[in-house]
Amino acid sequence: MERFYATGYRKTSVARVWIYPGTGQVIVNNKPYKEYFYDHIVAEDVILAPFRVINLLGQFDVICTVKGGGKSAQAEAIRHGIAKALVSYSPDLKPILKKAGFITRDAREKERKKYGLRGARRGQQYSKR
């Protein structure tokens, strides 16, 4: 049984993903993904999107560990890792996954708060009186 590994990133989340031929089981941090993402409705669609695009849904088992960020960023990091692992499984899939936007790492991060401001860019509210 050959396994394919990749690392996926999104915001501050890092997902280590292993895929191998199987029945479509997805395990996240030693739990089924529906149990891990029980409060996040769209996580299932996000995680399984690379398999849907290439019509291989239910043909690979996924085991992954994910750290950092929130549930949404973790789901997108897993998606990124799955897409990269599928490319290592079969390089012919790269153009399809690239066109769907799953190979490119979404580099947007939270901007830091600056001194003298309330947030990254929000300033103090002016009060005339």
In a domain, 118, yes or no: no
Please determine, for residue 127, whether its predicted confidence score (pLDDT) is greater than 80: yes
Query: Quick one: pLDDT at residue 86?
Result: 94
Please determine, for residue 1, whether its predicted confidence score (pLDDT) is greater than 80: no
> Looking at the 3D structure of the chain, how many domains does it have?
1
In a domain, 34, yes or no: yes
**Range(s) of the domain holding residue 21:** 4-100
**Which token pair is 43?**
């996580």
4-10 and 26-28 as β-strands: parallel, antiparallel, unpaired? unpaired
Residue 46 host element (H or E): helix 43-53
Q: Please state the φ and ψ torsions of residue 20, each to the nearest 5 degrees.
A: -155, 155
**Which token pair is 39?**
């409060």
In a domain, 84, yes or no: yes
Helix, strand, coil % (nearest 5) of the chain? 35, 20, 45
Query: Quick one: pLDDT at residue 101?
Result: 93
pTM metric for this prediction: 0.91
Residues contacting 58, CB < 8 A, separation 6+: 23, 24, 51
Percent of the chain with pLDDT over 70: 100
Chain segment 12-63, per-residue pLDDT in tens: 999 999 999 999 999 999 999 999 999 988 998 999 999 999 998 889 999 9
Query: Quick one: pLDDT at residue 128?
Result: 92
Count of CB atoms situated within 10 Å of the CB of 92:
9
